[in-house]
Chains A and B, each alone.
Chain A
């Protein structure tokens, strides 16, 4: 009986988290197009529904009914596997995101996260790397030179920026003394990590944008040079899966910034979950805003920034954090 109740709670949680994430993914595209439109002094989607609100549904249906093409030159099993890896990894990451503190429903305490892993932040790093295989393999398996170059760029960028990202995370972990995401949020009850770790925050944002393949780091898909990069041969639902994975990653990234640096669910008056989503959407807005502001970097500039600026900065930050932690205790 107890086990059944436990199973029921976990099932409901999984369903809710998945549904919310998919809704955010769908209307994330709408938000992006609207914000980009208004930044560029136009309206963005307006035709389907009021202010184009039903546009994501129309796009989804269109995605399903488009013709499915698998190129002759493609490596068929890997070609099919690639988008699946992408979306599966992106959705798996939702498991450890702490959306809010525990609440009481029907006399039972329910935590507003699916699981509190002892190694939460490492889990995120590990699964995120696995997710990057999706794009790389997709590019390679298409048997298309633009796809291949996109995939290669993706993996090079992943290798370079994952390091600095991990360094930024380590300095946060050093302050909070735990790898669990819930622990990190609880540790920020008084002071948010963005004030205690401003350099790590900047590093994390830059590396995160690079890992998300967003402008100014959208090397793997750079439309102007690579036609669309790793997903150039994909059509129909497979392309949609890549697209969904990208927006799901953006949501997870925003949630991680909120969790690690912006105090997670902490905030006055409003309930924790509301604060969490306010902060997350602020970060998502930032991602779209900077996309419409910055031009794309050149490839060698991206690599130089990763290895010669961000990596030393991350190491320095860890060194200083370590000194401060030792001096204070």
Chain B
């Protein structure tokens, strides 16, 4: 049952991701991306990661896509603009990048044992303490340093954005 659902959601996620690229209309493209994030969230749910699923919806499908759609509407990119800036060089560069990324992912072992639950966060632990409690315990003890480093990185990004926006004045 779970496997069937997983396959359906995976297929949906891949189809919608492809539609992001193939849609001619920029806003449609952004909408397909929302759908893609949504199906990814369902995959997280099937892997019993409620918290990550809902973060995926709040952060990506909600906030980030809202920003992107706002920007697209603001710039009024409604007219389709087929093939602008697509030269054989950019196309082949994209293809090479795709192959390299694919090899990277495969070598990391994403392809093997997708269904297997590994690592310290197990089903029993989640049932005992609830998902958020387990996750936050690991996040603020074992993974504290990476967590803080990521937050510094994000703050640096925000500061950088402010600096870039201010320069024009």
Contacts and interface: CB of A to CB of B under 8 A. Distances in A.
B14 interface: no
Nearest to A166: B58
B62 A126 contact: yes
Interface residues of A, number: 26
A162 interface: yes
If over half of A's interface residues share one DSSP class (helix, strand or loop), that class is named, otherwise mixed; here it is helix
B35 to A, nearest CB: 11
B50 interface: yes
B28 A156 contact: no
Nearest to B57: A126
Given A75-B25, A118-B130, A179-B132, A136 B69 contact: yes
A123 B73 contact: no
Contacts of B74: 152
A119 B132 contact: yes
Interface string A127-164: 10110110011001000000010011001101100100
A126 B54 contact: yes
A80 to B, nearest CB: 13
B62 A129 contact: yes
A122 interface: yes
A14 interface: no
Interface in B23-64: 25, 27-28, 31, 34, 50-51, 54-55, 57-58, 61-63
A130 B61 contact: yes
Contacts of B57: 126-127, 129-130
B140 interface: no
Interface residues of B, number: 23
Contacts, number: 68
Interface string B129-142: 01110000000000
A112 interface: no
A10 interface: no
Contact of B54 (A119, A132, A159, A162): A119
Nearest to A183: B130
Contacts of A156: 70
A78 interface: yes
A129 B74 CA distance: 19
B131 A119 contact: yes
Given A140-B27, A152-B74, A179-B132, A129 B54 contact: no
B8 interface: no
B115 to A, nearest CB: 22
A88 interface: no
A117 interface: yes
Contacts of A179: 132
B66 A155 contact: yes
A158 B67 CA distance: 10
Contacts of B25: 75
B66 A78 contact: no
B131 A126 contact: no
A194 interface: no
B31 A162 contact: no
A159 B63 contact: yes
A125 interface: yes
Interface of A: 75, 78, 117-119, 122-123, 125-127, 129-130, 132-133, 136-137, 140, 148, 151-152, 155-156, 158-159, 162, 179
Given A118-B131, A132-B66, A155-B73, 20 more contacts: A75-B25, A78-B31, A118-B51, A122-B58, A123-B54, A126-B54, A126-B57, A127-B57, A129-B57, A129-B58, A130-B34, A130-B57, A130-B61, A133-B34, A133-B66, A148-B73, A151-B73, A152-B74, A155-B69, A159-B63
Interface of B: 25, 27-28, 31, 34, 50-51, 54-55, 57-58, 61-63, 66-67, 69-70, 73-74, 130-132
